[in-house]
Chain A
């Protein structure tokens, strides 16, 4: 196990390097002049000032050297100050992550609680009306864009029926971490995250269950007279749940992309909204930091997923 973990960690190094390289190239290839961005509006800039600033920023060096500087900064988690907030970008991001995590975790618990039973039901009623119904719901959930669903939620349940608040984390002036008010504000965004899971879990579990129910050991279990409840609940379900671990590991992709949209709609002050606002304001340090931190977290989650998978399913290690 230890060797597998170590190998998986070493394999991540080139990926992290690639992510840095890609981000670096994208930002440097841009036709936008960084000096003009930093000093937007100050037109009395002389050519010497310009040169000096470029030198100070290290932007007059050769591109490979610039990359070394960039990589060194990234390793020290120093992404520079936000143009807008005049505070270190990494600090802004660290503040927002708990808010995003709060929503995302709640969202995926809801998604799993709804999605996994639906998948099992679909497999048990294969080919019947219930199965078709669940499949159609699942396809529909993946076809409707997050932002449309979110806007509909706000439009009908927030604005027209006034059942739910239409945005932000708390009623203004009442800060609280975990209370009914916060829970009330979380309903909409959590349902949106859950929708993302609803598009995946039922399908996934259905195929997995069907495959397992066709296995020899299930026939053995039935033929030795075990009750159907034990065959399905004990023998089949436990094995069908193994690959769900992989799904939980890959969730971060959905969370990172989804949070940009979901938090924008519900004005939820998380990582996604920070990225959106920073990008709208052309606040490059924050955008770069958000992308790199997001990428690193993602790679970390892939590693954790693979380790968890190898842990619950020993065949993975043997196979490699």
Chain B
């Protein structure tokens, strides 16, 4: 008896002294302990800050706009001996490469983050509802997914880019509308597993509406996995947008994007190799950071997952199991 009281005392004191950190608190403390992820996060944070501050920086530090041409200084090589605007050299029209890089970051990151958000939302909505209701709606969802997967995304984007003049906002919508299938598949598969759990059955027995079950019981459980996928999606979208703009069907000049800064790069082999290297490194570094953050978050969300089922589910992207069941 006495021991029990003592244990209870000790427990309550322990509770008082240190409130439970909770799921997300635990995750964030794990991430803080992970050097690689923290480095990636700070680089990405710095890039977002620079992109947001592009106006201020170009006005006050570099003193030129992204479309200001100086035809006497075309293909100027990068050097810190130059004035700040030409630290990274000048492009084929004598525009400041560093300022264009900043504005390009704005476009690329904006499209990456928001298109990934659209994809995630759509994927969750379609995937969870299809997995939960099954039947007819699931058949339709699977049909939509297999149709969109049946055409390479780059081809679809090229057609759309050919038909419409794309700006960042329409690209966000388009990439979001065309690319949500991976997320939907993941959410659908997860929902199949969660909907049979005892607590979901219990909620249904108590009369919870399907909407409530999905929002309160299923979505919170698959959200961590979806957030990890979301990080990888941002990276994927940035790659897709830059490829599209590189080919000339995405963001149109004079608005700079990291992709369209490389358009016509084959003409720069001799005169300005830095025009290939600078934007290329910017894209690679950003995507690398996002992938590393995704990896780190995955480990932090559940260290037991390392090398086990759920990791495979993300990295593998199994084909959709098509057909009625």
Contact = CB atoms under 8 A, between A and B. Distances in A.
Interface of A: 7, 11, 14-16, 18-19, 21-23, 26-27, 29-32, 126, 139-140, 142-148, 151-152, 154-155, 158-160, 166, 203-204, 206-208, 210-211, 243, 246, 249-250, 253, 256-257, 260-261, 264-265, 275-276, 279-280, 282, 287, 290-291, 294-295, 298-299, 302, 305-306, 320
B163 A148 contact: no
Contacts of B266: 151, 154, 265
A139 B288 contact: yes
A143 B291 contact: yes
Given A26-B159, A204-B316, A260-B247, A151 B262 contact: yes
A146 B243 contact: yes
Contact of B315 (A146, A207, A282, A290): A207
Nearest to A282: B162
Contact of B295 (A139, A160, A208): A139
B276 A279 contact: no
B249 interface: yes
Q: Tell me if A's interface is mostly helix, strand, loop or mixed.
A: helix
A265 B159 CA distance: 20
6 contacts: A11-B322, A23-B151, A26-B156, A154-B269, A159-B269, A305-B319
Given A151-B262, A152-B280, A302-B319, A207 B288 contact: no
A84 to B, nearest CB: 14
Nearest 4 interchain pairs by C-beta: A18-B147, A148-B280, A30-B163, A143-B288
Nearest to B308: A211
Nearest to A158: B269
Contacts of B207: none
A256 B311 CA distance: 27
Contacts of B280: 144-145, 148, 151-152
Contact of B163 (A15, A22, A27, A298): A27
A99 to B, nearest CB: 18
B270 interface: yes
Contacts of B153: 257
A158 B270 CA distance: 11
A146 B243 CA distance: 8
Contact of A32 (B163, B243, B325): B163
A280 B284 contact: no
B150 A19 contact: yes
Contacts of B146: 14-15, 18, 299
Contact of A291 (B149, B155, B315, B319): B155
Interface in B100-144: 143-144
A294 B269 contact: no
Contact of B147 (A15, A32, A144): A15
Nearest to B317: A250
Nearest to B151: A295
A298 B162 contact: no
Contacts of B273: 155, 160
B284 A287 contact: no
A260 B322 CA distance: 28
Given A152-B280, A298-B152, A306-B319, A22 B147 contact: yes
Contacts of B31: none
